[in-house]
Structure 1
Amino acid sequence: MLGATLPFGGVAAADTGSATPVSDIVLDNSDATLTGSWTIARRLANHYGADYLTRPADTGRGTVTWRPNITADGVYGVYYRLPDGHASSAGQATFTVKDAGGSRQFAVDQRTSVGGQWVLLGDAQLKAGVGGFVRLAGEGRGKLIADAVKFGAPSSATNPIPDPGIQSMITAAIETGAPQVKIAPGTYAVSSTPQSAGSLLTIDGADGLKINAKGVTIVGQELTRAVNVVKSRNVTIEGLTIDYDPLPFTQGAVSAIAPDLGWIDVTLDEGYPEKAFSRVSIYDPATGFQKAGINHLWGTTAAFTEPGVVRVTLAGLGKGVDLGDPITLSGGATGTEHAVSFEESAGSKLKNVTVHTAPGFGLIDVSGDGGTVLDGFRLVPGPPPPGATKAPLLSAIWDGIQFQSVGKGPTMINSEIRNAGDDSFSIQTRAMPVLKVEGDRILVGFPDRWKAVALEVGDRIQQFRDGPAPRVTAVTKVDYATAGIDPAVQAKVDEAQTQGWNPWNLSKDSVYELTLDSADVFQAAQFVFNPDRMGNGFVFKNNVVRSPGRGILLKSGDGVIEGNTFEGGDKAIMIATENEADSHGGAAYDLKIRNNVFRGTGYHHDMPWSAQAGSVGMAGGNVTSKRAYDHILIEGNLFESIRGLNLNISDASDVTVRNNVFRDTHRTENGSNGASFGIPADAVIFVSKADRVSFKNTVIEGLGPFSTNAIVVAPTATDVTGANDIVVRPGTAG
């Protein structure tokens, strides 16, 4: 029988002279004809209908065929739908579409599928009757999944239509104080206007405004910010989807490797931009993640050798690379590169908003009072671009989501981040070098305006959490050259100008004088921080993260990370000041990390030069006068199939670890993360430079062949209890 019929309104077919469908024909897995043995499943989220079908992806032995009963000749768009991707799903699924013109095949990597959305395969010229069909088959490894297909609007009917004046609607609502802007459902091609000030859409100075964008997709026609919220309070955006055309990246596969490994040639996939972007990521075709053992590829250059073939050059680039490896190539900063931006705003809320790609971060929130809520937010790759048959490998080309120097921490719940180009989620702040002290006035500096900590009258300034905390009574920008800074301090600034990670690297145009309510609290050449602009009080709950970089980079406190799934990625959670300075600027505290699943992390970069190691880890950097982190609970988590070190407790005090399970660990080579710091990759748990650490009900199920230690406690750790009570027993992998 046929599935549900959903009206959508007819559109005349282009260049065919025949009718297009007046309703969608949706066929579920229960409407299909099967060959081979299939199993009904429901485990993966966002499937269509009650269930889906699965079987091993063995070549041609099992197929699913959907045959629509077409009532009128016409051009139909053919779409498929799958549940959320999983590492165990088939990487080599093939949909065959049979229409009046013959058969065409479309390759789909089901491991990276984004559940809950229809993905266009292409247009089909179908005759009335049941002569056309879609057939699914697979090969290689993994579980082949059959869910649903749809015959509906052709691609010519789903192309964006002109912007109906969305910016004007938003501007008028702000000027008149209207509480809501409702945008008619549709897919709109949007460009920046003088009103939007360089972004696609700008919301400036709003208070309590709601944007009802249910069923609305905006397709950016230029690579700039899609939505920029500036100096606004309590703005809600609901239902919006953001995409770009052209995409800010391209992709393809390795077609040649230099004999000396100094370059690789990438043949671009059909339908993706003909651009020689130089930021390169290399993927493992078997897992869909970035390839293990390939380090940060900084300094690459790219140029076309012929149409459709890009040569990427860097000494040693080809090491570990194989012909056919998938590749993404993306670009650098444009200055207005993030898809969604909040500046100096508070109480913002995004409800069921989707970002498919971004020419920078997916979302950034900087220098506001904070309190942003992301509920049902999805940063996931979108459908293939026009003319493409392969799904996009990237969402945002840089980080997924970043909060920088905000007041109240964000709440992110029931959301999803997939295939971001770097870190998925971070809350960050900066320590400030003290350049000069005169009584109750101090001079501080920042690298640039984006990395400047918001400073407001009434905020506190500290060096360490347990030290004095005078309040700011005035903030004044000053001229560096005439500020009378001691030459010894100036020398530190000058030396650091070309050293990006040196905390003394600051812009001489970003220097401020702070007047405090107490005198002579700090000294020149110390580092201080603003505890009121750290994004403290955050919640990260019931989310899914499946991206190559760090799942969470954390420089904030008083937070909860609960009920999430982190899959793949270099590290799941990294608590790190990132070598800021000897202060508690960016040093987390009062954290609860509980009831999460950490699966398959540690697969990617080998970084012996970094102390950031472990699926969940801590690295105190230059914080040496005191422990960097304190009061941390790690409870009820499952660590599964981790490569190398699972849990790294360093530079911390008062850490409680209880009721955690470490399953099937160290099944592959460990890599070398942290080796220069003596961090043992072959241990499951490592404790170093830590005080008052307790373990209770810790179970290791299946210690793999690349591990020799359940736990290593370094001599620099004190008052560690329960380490000898860890239980080790066989795991599911043997």
Structure 2
Amino acid sequence: MMPISRRRALTLASFVVATPLLGAESGAEPAPRPGSATFDMATFTVTSSGDADAAFAKALAAVAKTAADASKAGPVHIVLNLEKNASYRIKRPLAFRQLHGFELNGNGAQLINTTRSGTFVISDCSHLTIRDLSIDYDPLPFTQGTIAAFDKAALEITVRIDPGYPDDAALLAAMAGGFFKVMDRHNRALKTGARDFLSPSHVARISDGLIKVRLQWGANDRSPSQLPIAIGDVVAISNGGAHAVTVDSSVATSLIDLKLLASPGMGIIENGGEGSMMLQKVSVVPGPRPKSATTDRLISTNSDGSHFTALERGPTFEDCSFANTCDDAINVHGFYYYVVAKTAPRRFLLSPKWDIGLVAGDDIESCDHATFRSLGRSKVEQLTKRHAPELKAKIAQLWNNRSPTTQPDLIYDVTLQQDLPLRVGDAITSLTHAGSGATVLRCSFHACGRVLMKAPNAIVENCQFTFSTGVALQAGSDIGFWSESGFADNLVFRGNRFSHCVNGANELTSGSGTLGTIYVGMEPPESAKGFQDNFENRRVIIEGNHIDDSCIYAIFVSNADGLKIADNVIGQTFVRGNAFGAGEFFRIRPDSAIYVGRSRNVEISNNVAARGRIATAVVAIDPSCDKRSVHQANNRLA
């Protein structure tokens, strides 16, 4: 990733565009420099009679023409300056395609999306920058209120909508399959002990400000760790839709001082390409109260705050803030591709989940379907694609009990440089398109889902996590439901602070294997139980973290080869006073602040943990570990 100052130091063609300027405001803009083109949004607003969509269409057409004209002479830095502190109400996404060195300078402006659609679509661009801008939605893409009544089975819930929040038919019709979250207004977080995921099957308006939600399962069909719902509980209702910012097949995108205040789906998503996105002082947080509202917003994004798939280089986050994302705050990963058949030595037919992330020339890692250990590495020598409807049934079987493939008859016909002993159901993943080097520095996360690092060479350092819904910071493969790779490799979690994390009920159930505020391990398919027979998380360092008031273990690691857990300061764990079902997935009974399962070459030293009702030891080592290579020193209870 090249920072902005270096980009501007690139040699530019001697191309200058004279920009029409307006009145006194023109003096506030810097004069064009050689190799640059500057446009003022005010020019296009005036000629569009206040229609923001028409104004942006003209502005982006001018930008595209300038970029095309300049391309013959060499790179040119193009800037579109929005009007200072202006507000633009838009109905259509702003699309940037094949732009190189373009900058959208918001000057403190706000884009208000009025259609619950995407706001930015960036494709095939390089070194594109968006800065000093906020994005919001009106009407909002979610609603919230209080429970007024429910039936005996807690399947049908009547909700009184908070004043100022939407209950229009289009929104309610889109809620099926989404999120029904019981919240705590004081903490602006999931209510402690609430189920992380309840899902509506139908939502309908009864009268002004009153709706009825039918759930897919009863809200009080509870595990021991889940508290019952009650009249007066606060709820937020949403479902994933269009993403606010979508980046495809691009390199070195920069988001600087961007404020994202709502999103119908994910906040920021980047798919494929070279990647290397820079996010500096980006805020993904709930916006201000709507007009006439008397309560604060409970949601920022309807699904992940940010998501990065199949990139050559992962994102860098610096000094960013995330709050109240309905799902993960950050997720960086590649994909698994499952073996449908071996047709010749070195030649395999693979089923992809999405048509992305594996190309000729990629280095690949393999994964056995039974133990999930590596069967070796190789390189993709050739790759062709074809549709094979005759294989649909066989492909569907591979995705049974997983999030299904979006490509039910697409086949990747792959030839590897070196043969591997792969059988039907085994998987490969690209090491080239895995988001390597993802970095998160000095960021804060409140009431979010996980920060997930499935990329190699990842770092999360000096961040703060409060009231995380479930696991706060996680690494390792999900070859189970989501088919997201890969295992941790050269991972550092250092100097982070955590408070009141794993707030929801799900991690404390008997079926959960993700058991720590910090968790490094793997999520196997549904049929697999216990610690899997592999050591695929390699070179993991967890050091210098402060973890207070965790509802579960502070640190839980499994399937590691080369693990260092050192100098961590741990306050109370299992603060709800009960471990409930936690640990039953591995047939363990919690009694420590740190747990290590199925690992080798482990160093655990200089950690301090508070004694509690559950934790009577600092560290517990599972019998599945190679105890001869596990070394402990100077760990103590406070």
TM-score by length of 1: 0.70
Matched with 1:717 is 625
Matched with 2:287 is 382
Matched with 1:612 is 514
Equivalent residues of 1:229, 1:341 under 8 A apart: yes
Q: Could you say if the C-alpha distance between residues 709 and 298 of structure 1 is closer, same or farther in structure 2, counting changes exceeding 3 Å?
A: farther
**Is 1:691 the counterpart of 2:600 in the alignment?**
yes
Within 1, Cα distance between the matches of 2:472 and 2:101? 35
Within 1, Cα distance between the matches of 2:519 and 2:336? 21
Identity %: 23
Q: Could you say if the C-alpha distance between residues 679 and 534 of structure 1 is closer, same or farther in structure 2, counting changes exceeding 3 Å?
A: farther
Equivalent residues of 1:576, 1:612 under 8 A apart: no
Counterpart code for 2:231: L
Equivalent residues of 1:612, 1:674 under 8 A apart: no
Q: Could you say if the C-alpha distance between residues 462 and 706 of structure 1 is closer, same or farther in structure 2, counting changes exceeding 3 Å?
A: closer
Selected match of 1:538 from 433, 438, 457 = 438
Deviations 1:372-403 (A, max 9, x none): 11011110111112221222110001111110
Deviations 1:607-629 (A, max 9, x none): 32121111011232349563120
Deviations 1:483-518 (A, max 9, x none): xx6xxxx7652335563347xx56234322234444
Q: Could you say if the C-alpha distance between residues 219 and 674 of structure 1 is closer, same or farther in structure 2, counting changes exceeding 3 Å?
A: farther
Q: Which ranges in structure 1 are unaligned for 5 or more consecutive residues?
A: 1-159, 193-199, 730-734
Matched with 1:231 is 124
Equivalent residue runs for 1:363-382 within 5 Å: 363-382=268-287
**Is 1:411 the counterpart of 2:316 in the alignment?**
yes
Within 2, Cα distance between the matches of 1:259 and 1:529? 47
Secondary structure in 2 matching 1:495 = helix
Identify which range, 709-718 or 515-524, moves more after superposition: 515-524
Counterpart code for 2:108: G
Identify which range, 221-230 or 713-722, moves more after superposition: 713-722
Question: Which of structure 1's runs of 4+ aligned residues deviate more than 6 A?
Answer: none
Secondary structure in 2 matching 1:534 = coil
Equivalent residues of 2:240, 2:266 under 8 A apart: no
Counterpart code for 1:321: I
Secondary structure in 2 matching 1:215 = strand
Matched with 1:459 is 362
Selected match of 2:493 from 584, 587, 593 = 593
**Is 1:175 the counterpart of 2:65 in the alignment?**
yes
Matched with 2:184 is 284
Identify which range, 352-361 or 257-266, moves more after superposition: 257-266
Matched with 1:248 is 141
Matched with 2:455 is 556
Counterpart code for 1:587: F
Within 2, Cα distance between the matches of 1:592 and 1:247? 38
Equivalent residue runs for 1:438-477 within 5 Å: 438-449=344-355, 452=356, 454-463=357-366, 468-477=376-385
Post-superposition shift, 1:313? Answer: 2.6
Q: Could you say if the C-alpha distance between residues 492 and 674 of structure 1 is closer, same or farther in structure 2, counting changes exceeding 3 Å?
A: farther
Within 2, Cα distance between the matches of 1:614 and 1:664? 13
Matched with 2:103 is 210
Equivalent residues of 2:544, 2:569 under 8 A apart: yes
Post-superposition shift, 1:369? Answer: 1.0
Q: Could you say if the C-alpha distance between residues 613 and 572 of structure 1 is closer, same or farther in structure 2, counting changes exceeding 3 Å?
A: same
Matched with 1:436 is 341
Equivalent residue runs for 1:576-725 within 5 Å: 576-580=476-480, 585-606=485-506, 607-622=509-524, 624=532, 626-669=534-577, 670-700=579-609, 702-719=610-627, 721-723=630-632, 725=634
Within 1, Cα distance between the matches of 2:379 and 2:601? 32
Equivalent residues of 2:100, 2:126 under 8 A apart: yes
Within 1, Cα distance between the matches of 2:461 and 2:501? 18
Secondary structure in 2 matching 1:175 = helix
Q: Could you say if the C-alpha distance between residues 312 and 299 of structure 1 is closer, same or farther in structure 2, counting changes exceeding 3 Å?
A: closer
Post-superposition shift, 1:299? Answer: 4.8
Equivalent residues of 2:335, 2:484 under 8 A apart: no
Equivalent residues of 2:339, 2:427 under 8 A apart: yes
Q: Could you say if the C-alpha distance between residues 637 and 379 of structure 1 is closer, same or farther in structure 2, counting changes exceeding 3 Å?
A: same
Post-superposition shift, 1:419? Answer: 0.6
Selected match of 1:270 from 155, 158, 163 = 163
Equivalent residues of 2:308, 2:332 under 8 A apart: yes
Identify which range, 205-214 or 629-638, moves more after superposition: 205-214
Q: Which ranges in structure 2 are unaligned for 5 or more consecutive residues?
A: 1-49, 68-75, 221-226, 368-372, 525-530
Matched with 2:43 is none
Q: Could you say if the C-alpha distance between residues 520 and 313 of structure 1 is closer, same or farther in structure 2, counting changes exceeding 3 Å?
A: closer
Identify which range, 169-178 or 425-434, moves more after superposition: 169-178
Deviations 1:280-320 (A, max 9, x none): 11112443211222222135432223321112233431562
Selected match of 1:358 from 263, 277, 285 = 263
Equivalent residues of 2:396, 2:408 under 8 A apart: no
Within 2, Cα distance between the matches of 1:674 and 1:427? 27
> Which structure has the bigger radius of gyration?
1
Post-superposition shift, 1:467? Answer: 6.2
Q: Could you say if the C-alpha distance between residues 458 and 579 of structure 1 is closer, same or farther in structure 2, counting changes exceeding 3 Å?
A: closer
Deviations 1:34-54 (A, max 9, x none): xxxxxxxxxxxxxxxxxxxxx
Equivalent residues of 1:407, 1:534 under 8 A apart: yes
Q: For this pair of structures, how many residues does the alignment match? A: 547
Secondary structure in 1 matching 2:478 = coil
Q: Could you say if the C-alpha distance between residues 298 and 674 of structure 1 is closer, same or farther in structure 2, counting changes exceeding 3 Å?
A: farther
**Is 1:222 the counterpart of 2:123 in the alignment?**
no
Q: Could you say if the C-alpha distance between residues 270 and 586 of structure 1 is closer, same or farther in structure 2, counting changes exceeding 3 Å?
A: same
Post-superposition shift, 1:575? Answer: 1.6
Secondary structure in 1 matching 2:115 = coil
TM-score by length of 2: 0.80
Secondary structure in 2 matching 1:241 = strand
Equivalent residues of 2:304, 2:329 under 8 A apart: yes
Q: Could you say if the C-alpha distance between residues 468 and 260 of structure 1 is closer, same or farther in structure 2, counting changes exceeding 3 Å?
A: closer
RMSD between superposed Cα atoms in Å: 2.6
Q: Could you say if the C-alpha distance between residues 711 and 543 of structure 1 is closer, same or farther in structure 2, counting changes exceeding 3 Å?
A: same
Equivalent residues of 2:533, 2:598 under 8 A apart: no
Q: Could you say if the C-alpha distance between residues 239 and 509 of structure 1 is closer, same or farther in structure 2, counting changes exceeding 3 Å?
A: farther
Equivalent residue runs for 1:294-305 within 5 Å: 294-295=194-195, 296-305=197-206
Larger RCO: Structure 1 or Structure 2 (Cα < 8 Å, ≥ 6 residues apart)? 2
Counterpart code for 2:55: G
Matched with 2:31 is none
Matched with 2:471 is 571
Within 1, Cα distance between the matches of 2:484 and 2:230? 44
Post-superposition shift, 1:671? Answer: 4.1
Within 1, Cα distance between the matches of 2:212 and 2:160? 9
Counterpart code for 2:314: G
Deviations 1:70-98 (A, max 9, x none): xxxxxxxxxxxxxxxxxxxxxxxxxxxxx
Equivalent residues of 1:493, 1:506 under 8 A apart: no
